[in-house]
A and B are shown apart, each in its own frame.
Chain A
């Protein structure tokens, strides 16, 4: 690089207009929680959604933290089916299959949860996967249960502070 180029570079750096102190302007107020509107059924009937709530609660139950029903996972699945016709078709089949089985839901899950390659195994997988996907995207699942409290303003990122890992 020649001297003239180097001068150009330095001139450019010096001339770079200073943008406002963005970090200082930037505020990270926690968003106001939306009014806790009670969810409504959009795809399944109200009674069906309540039944679905029983099933998802078996997958991720209330312990010392909220369970899938507390987190409205059943309504989230209902809303997904409403938005995505393909999901609705699959879920209609799964819901119909589950509710036709003999025995209490817990007994049905105990049976199909160990099967492989059967229709029951496929429906169990859909129920389980959907419950996990929806629950861990909720405040109850991600924040209350797992303790995730990120995506926020941190003045300094300290990384790993465990002595044994240094």
Chain B
């Protein structure tokens, strides 16, 4: 067995993961003069090699000639997990993590979210309120650039720092109008895309291919927006291909470093640090913490409450499609825009009559208008021959789409565990995900379907068939939260409101795992704000010599 390579240097702060959470932590600490070592499980993605401008008809030819797009996503054969029932886990190992290809939706949580449990009594309350985090939302939006409207409401706090929103597409205008006619408000989407030059980042050129990575860095990604400035301080050192296995614990019960394995060679390393920040994304962070067993922490570091791994929450989601009659047969426009939707339907079910379920839902609208990838709906049109061809062309500019997202409550037995019987290539237990939606989510789905159908019908859409109650496979929203949740009570939560472990004061968990609830919203903006807030707190603690 190869000898473990141990580095004698003791780092001020060690950060695991380079995505939104870890990247923000590194950016904030290094600019304050704190030396940071970051471990990332992959490498920097070469922006020049992104396939953002490879046309659909060129893709296969390039593949046939042996070319490959960037391999953003972790191959589950390399780092397996298992789940029962199936949970779709998307991981990006490499600088910037999932922010290289994220959906860019940047919604603020409000007190409807933070105080949800205080209101309805389901599980524990967030230890923070909007007033605690709103200054950080302000700062994050100014730093990274978020476009959006001036159309906030109680379920969607606004911002005076939004960059100009993009104009809606035709189909989006029609759905906005239709929703309004049935009393539902649809606002400008808020996205971390710079619609005008911002802090040195050039503006979006509306090619619509954000999911392949942005070749000009016009949307927030942790690598360009956080890590590169952090490197320039001279205070950040980053080790690529460092797959973290465990946190190490000293005799005082504090973390004193990390064990990691070189992804290329398998070589085991140990590095030492005075403080450790975990931001490897919810499931991987949880796996690392649960595998960090010791005499002091027999069920994982910081887990005296036995909540780590539990309360995994994601979101329910489905899709409804139709065609706008007044757009059928019109001239095909370039509907790319930002990539994804320009409008958003905020939660509204807290108003009006009491529902027979808790929490709420919103809706997104991507893929509206003339978009490639039409085969999925075109196959549903009848017939063949010239008539079919003409019919597809007539429908092409007219596609309407709704994608509602509903909150999934935190349940104790929706969880991530580590399975000692199944190990990865480094000999460490892999993650097992046990997750299912329950009655509350199923009742909410009924309302979600009613809402989507009501809006589509108000738009007089020619509907594509849908099956009421069907829902995307768990994990599809790629918004895992809650497995290292924050709370006021150390017996029922792992972290305090600053993402600091109750049990182990020099460990912070700053990704979605720290969330107390999921809400119906996309979490990245809140992850960034929480990580900034946590590292402000940490820096102050360091200054005072308290951690």
Beta-carbon nearest neighbor of B27 in chain A: A12
Contact B375–A133 (Cβ < 8 Å): yes
Contact partner of B384 among A113, A136, A145, CB < 8 A?
A113
Interface segment among A21-29, A43-51, A94-102, A115-123: the answer is A21-29
Q: Which of B26-83 contact A (CB under 8 A)?
A: 27-28, 31-32, 52-61, 64
Number of A-B pairs, beta carbon distance below 8 Å? 191
B374 interface residue per 8 A CB criterion:
yes
Contact B375–A137 (Cβ < 8 Å): yes
Contact partner of B200 among A6, A19, A34, CB < 8 A?
A19
A58 interface residue per 8 A CB criterion:
yes
Distance of A148 Cα from B54 Cα, bound (Å): 14
Instruction: Tell me which residues across on chain B come within 8 A of A34, comparing CB atoms.
Output: 58, 61
Interface segment among B115-123, B168-176, B306-314: the answer is B168-176
CB distance from B191 to the nearest CB of A (A): 13
Contact partner of B228 among A19, A24, A164, CB < 8 A?
A19
B157 interface residue per 8 A CB criterion:
no
CB distance from B178 to the nearest CB of A (A): 11
Contact A23–B218 (Cβ < 8 Å): yes
Whether A153 touches B389, Cβ cut-off 8 Å, given contacts A22-B217, A165-B173, is no
Contact A162–B207 (Cβ < 8 Å): no
Instruction: Tell me which residues across on chain A come within 8 A of B218, comparing CB atoms.
Output: 22-23
Contact B335–A155 (Cβ < 8 Å): no
Instruction: Tell me which residues across on chain B come within 8 A of A16, comparing CB atoms.
Output: 143, 199-200, 229
- How big is chain A's contact interface, by range? 35 or more
A159 interface residue per 8 A CB criterion:
yes
Distance of A26 Cα from B217 Cα, bound (Å): 11
Contact B232–A137 (Cβ < 8 Å): no
Contact B53–A109 (Cβ < 8 Å): no
A8 interface residue per 8 A CB criterion:
yes
Beta-carbon nearest neighbor of B135 in chain A: A1
CB distance from A30 to the nearest CB of B (A): 9
A158 interface residue per 8 A CB criterion:
yes
CB distance from B329 to the nearest CB of A (A): 12
Contact A160–B385 (Cβ < 8 Å): no
CB distance from B54 to the nearest CB of A (A): 8
Distance of A133 Cα from B203 Cα, bound (Å): 34
Whether A19 touches B224, Cβ cut-off 8 Å, given contacts A24-B202, A26-B202, A137-B372, is yes
Distance of A19 Cα from B199 Cα, bound (Å): 8
Whether A160 touches B172, Cβ cut-off 8 Å, given contacts A18-B199, A59-B384, is yes
Contact B55–A58 (Cβ < 8 Å): no
Instruction: Tell me which residues across on chain B come within 8 A of A76, comparing CB atoms.
Output: 60
Instruction: Tell me which residues across on chain B come within 8 A of A153, comparing CB atoms.
Output: 205-207
Contact B208–A147 (Cβ < 8 Å): no
- How big is chain B's contact interface, by range? 35 or more
Distance of A142 Cα from B375 Cα, bound (Å): 11
Whether A8 touches B216, Cβ cut-off 8 Å, given contacts A15-B229, A19-B200, A159-B169, is no
B187-226: contact bitstring with A at CB < 8 Å (1 yes, 0 no)?
0000000000101111101111100000111100000100
Contact partner of A142 among B28, B54, B142, B372, CB < 8 A?
B372
Contact B392–A136 (Cβ < 8 Å): yes
Contact B139–A9 (Cβ < 8 Å): yes
Contact partner of B370 among A58, A150, A159, CB < 8 A?
A150
Distance of A12 Cα from B223 Cα, bound (Å): 16
Distance of A28 Cα from B386 Cα, bound (Å): 35
CB distance from B147 to the nearest CB of A (A): 11
Contact B199–A13 (Cβ < 8 Å): yes
A84 interface residue per 8 A CB criterion:
no
Whether A132 touches B199, Cβ cut-off 8 Å, given contacts A150-B336, A159-B167, is no
A67-96: contact bitstring with B at CB < 8 Å (1 yes, 0 no)?
000000000100100000000000000000
Distance of A165 Cα from B172 Cα, bound (Å): 10
Distance of A12 Cα from B332 Cα, bound (Å): 45
> Which among A12, A18, A128, A157 has the highest number of chain B CB atoms within 10 Å?
A157
User: Hey, which bits of chain A sit against chain B, CB under 8 A?
Assistant: 1, 5-6, 8-9, 11-13, 15-19, 21-24, 26, 28, 31, 34, 58-61, 63, 76, 79, 109, 113, 128-129, 132-133, 136-139, 142, 145-160, 162, 164-166
9 closest residue pairs by CB, A with B: A159-B167, A23-B202, A18-B200, A147-B332, A160-B170, A1-B135, A22-B202, A154-B206, A157-B206
14 contacts between A and B (CB under 8 A): A1-B135, A5-B135, A9-B142, A13-B142, A17-B229, A26-B216, A28-B205, A28-B207, A60-B389, A132-B392, A146-B332, A148-B372, A154-B205, A162-B170
Question: In the complex, given contacts A21-B202, A159-B172, what are 14 additional A-B residue pairs having Cβ atoms less than 8 angstroms apart?
Answer: A9-B139, A12-B143, A15-B229, A16-B199, A17-B200, A22-B218, A26-B205, A34-B58, A113-B384, A146-B396, A147-B332, A148-B396, A160-B167, A160-B169
